[in-house]
């Protein structure tokens, strides 16, 4: 008996669980039918999706894909398929009921904390990583319809990816494996690049980036023609990030809960997912790593190497005119010490927290790139870019790193100088060659 045959449920049992598909038990509407809540003595609370026969053509394909995938692939962050029924022309899917509904509905509630949002996103990312890389079959799965309404939440607010009807199986789990198929998905979430050819796992990454911004803003994505107070567009999210104006989109109560390092890591990850060029987007494995960092920053308790108050925020409150020497180093928050410098490129001070080195903001991203190549026990390399404790790095190494790491502008200038140098060397070589020929 195949794994799917073991999941067959008699129609009579489903009718009993739903009181004969009573309208009072309808809890949602899927792409090709209604979803009912039911109760079974054997299986407990159920969510039952019944295919509307009006959509039998495409719906049957989705029904078959859902049964095939969920009967073979199991993960704590995927919905649990309890069974299915194909009797009397019916096409019914039976899932474990997730009492906290879908993420899109939960985001409308202001009491969904930042910590809870981080854990939800991390869980969903792990589920998607599993589909892309960890099925154990050597194959990968591209979901093709990642959106907040397809992320369900169990009684403990654990994320469960659902709705696999549009999914495609690829023969390898490589992020570059391409599937050529008819473009589909949900407008607002769908990767615009699918219009120009096949799709890869990075199409899911793009859609997940949209979900991350929905979680951050507490608003749902929409298209420009439908824009309202409770919605945003992908272009808006990108522009608010690029102009450092995310606070205008984040609910003040939610923002007050966020540790700055957590917010920056989370928002940077979301922004990278939406990169226009597919090669510039991270894999889901990288997304999981970054969200784990964002969660770890939020969880850090007060103690050596980390403090509760952000010096940058304190400077802003003080009008950004107060001297940095007026603040004790214990007020530094890891990764948030973006202090304007007067003169030199670096500064360091000592306290019971150890020696902390402040880094020029313009150099921070390049230092991050350098640090990413260094194997250290740091939870976050970016933390070291702006506030580095000598218990992690040798003081001389830190000083050298800060001193010699170029800014973006200096890197661009260096590139120009190198081009001129190569042109000069080519000219010099050609001149020498001509002179040698004349001598002969």
Q: Do 70 and 15 fall within a single domain?
A: yes
Q: Is the pLDDT of residue 367 over 80?
A: no
Q: Is 49 one of the annotated binding-site residues?
A: yes
Which string of DSSP letters, residue by residue, matches 60-104?
A: HHHHHHHHHHHHH---TTB--EEEEE-GGG--EEEEE--TT-BHH
What is the CATH classification number for the domain harbouring 48? 3.30.200.20
Q: Which residues are catalytic?
A: 145
347 and 250 share one domain: no
Q: Which of 247, 264, 299 is the last residue of a domain?
A: 299
Distance CA 311, CA 336 (A): 7
Task: Answer yes or no: is pLDDT of 60 > 60.
Answer: yes
Place of tokens 């919905």: 79
282: nearest Cα among 215, 208, 213, 173: 208
Query: What pLDDT sits at residue 406?
Result: 61
Residue 338 counted as domain residue: yes
Same domain, 263 and 127: yes
The H or E element that residue 334 is part of is none
Structure tokens at 3: 């794994």
Q: Where a domain ends, among 239, 273, 299?
A: 299
Tokens 């992690």 found at: 392
Judge if 224 and 129 occupy the same domain. Answer: yes
Of 125-134, 353-362, 390-399, the poorest mean pLDDT is in 353-362
pLDDT at 254: 92
Co-location of 202 and 349 in the same domain? no
pLDDT value at 177 more than 90: no
Highest mean pLDDT, choosing among 2-6, 261-265, 428-432: 261-265
This prediction has a pTM of: 0.68
Residues 67 and 185 in one domain: no
Q: Say if residue 131 is in the same domain as residue 229.
A: yes
Examine the domain organization and report whether 28 and 73 are in the same domain.
Answer: yes
Mean pLDDT over 320-340 rounds to: 35
Q: Is 269 part of a structural domain of the chain?
A: yes
What radius of gyration do the chain's Cα atoms show? 27
d(CA 334, CA 305): 7
Q: Look over the chain and give the mean of its residue pLDDT values, rounded to a whole number.
A: 76
Q: Which two tokens stand for residue 235?
A: 């272009």
Are 223 and 257 in a shared domain?
yes
Whether the CB-CB separation of 287 and 130 falls below 8 Å is answered with: no
pLDDT tens, 132-172? 988 877 788 999 999 999 999 999 999 999 988 888 888 76
Rounded Cα gap, residues 115 and 295, in angstroms: 7
Q: Are residues 83 and 149 in the same domain?
A: no
Q: What is the pLDDT of residue 185?
A: 75
Domain membership flag for residue 304: no
More confident: 132 or 89: 132
Shared-domain flag, residues 208 and 292: yes
Structural domain containing residue 395: 311-405
Residue 364 belongs to some domain of the structure: yes
**Antiparallel, parallel or unpaired: β 346-349 and 356-359:** antiparallel
Domain final residue pick, 61, 76, 96: 96
Is 226 a member of any domain?
yes
Tally of domains in the chain: 4
pLDDT (0 to 100) of residue 324:
37
- Report whether 166 contacts 108 (CB < 8 A): no
| Structural domain includes residue 288 | yes
- H/E stretch holding 106 reads helix 103-106
- 145 strand-pairing partners: none
Q: How confident is the model at residue 408 (pLDDT cuts 50, 70, 90)?
A: low
pLDDT in tens, 16-42: 999 999 999 999 886 678 999 999 888
* Residue 209 resides in a domain: yes
Residue at 210 is within a domain? yes
95 pLDDT exceeds 80? yes
Pair 433, 365 in one domain: no
What is the average per-residue pLDDT within 105-133? 92
Residue 363: pLDDT above 80? Answer: no
């Amino acid at each position: 008996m195949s794994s799917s045959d073991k999941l067959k449920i008699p129609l009579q049992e489903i009718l009993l669980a739903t009181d004969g598909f009573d309208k009072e038990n309808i809890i949602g509407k899927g792409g090709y039918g209604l979803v009912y809540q039911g109760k079974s003595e054997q299986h407990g609370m159920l969510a039952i999706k019944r295919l509307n026969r009006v959509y039998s053509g495409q719906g049957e394909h989705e029904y078959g894909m859902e049964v095939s995938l969920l009967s073979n692939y199991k993960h704590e962050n995927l919905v649990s398929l309890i069974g299915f029924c194909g009797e009397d022309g019916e096409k019914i899917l039976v899932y474990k009921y997730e009492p906290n509904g879908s993420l899109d509905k939960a985001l409308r509630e202001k009491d969904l904390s930042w910590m809870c949002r981080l854990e939800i996103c991390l869980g969903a990312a792990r589920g998607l990583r599993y589909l892309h890389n960890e099925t154990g079959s050597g194959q990968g799965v591209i979901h093709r319809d990642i959106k907040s309404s397809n992320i369900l939440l169990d009684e403990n607010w654990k994320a469960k990816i659902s709705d696999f009807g549009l999914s495609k199986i690829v023969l390898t789990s490589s992020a570059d494996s391409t599937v050529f198929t008819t473009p589909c998905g949900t407008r607002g979430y769908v990767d615009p690049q699918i219009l120009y050819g096949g799709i890869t796992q990075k199409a899911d990454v793009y859609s997940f980036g949209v979900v991350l911004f929905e979680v951050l803003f507490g608003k749902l994505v929409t298209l420009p023609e439908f824009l309202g107070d409770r919605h945003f567009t992908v272009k808006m999210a990108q522009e608010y990030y690029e102009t450092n104006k995310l606070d205008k989109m984040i609910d003040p109560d939610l923002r007050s809960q966020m540790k700055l390092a957590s917010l920056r890591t989370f928002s940077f990850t979301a922004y990278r997912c939406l990169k226009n060029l597919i090669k510039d987007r991270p894999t889901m494995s990288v997304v999981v790593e970054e969200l784990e960092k964002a969660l770890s920053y939020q969880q850090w308790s007060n103690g050596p190497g980390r403090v509760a108050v952000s010096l940058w925020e304190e400077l802003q409150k003080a009008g950004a005119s107060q001297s940095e020497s007026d603040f004790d180093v214990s007020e530094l928050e890891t990764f948030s010490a973006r202090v304007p410098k007067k003169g030199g490129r670096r500064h360091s001070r000592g306290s019971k927290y150890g020696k902390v080195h402040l880094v020029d903001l313009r150099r921070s991203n390049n230092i991050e790139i350098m640090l990413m190549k260094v194997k250290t026990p740091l939870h976050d390399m970016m933390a070291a870019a702006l506030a580095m404790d000598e218990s992690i790095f040798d003081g001389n190494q830190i000083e050298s790193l800060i001193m010699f790491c170029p800014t973006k502008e200096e890197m661009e200038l260096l590139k120009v100088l190198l081009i001129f140098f190569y042109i000069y060397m080519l000219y010099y070589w050609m001149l020498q060659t001509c002179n040698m020929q004349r001598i002969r």
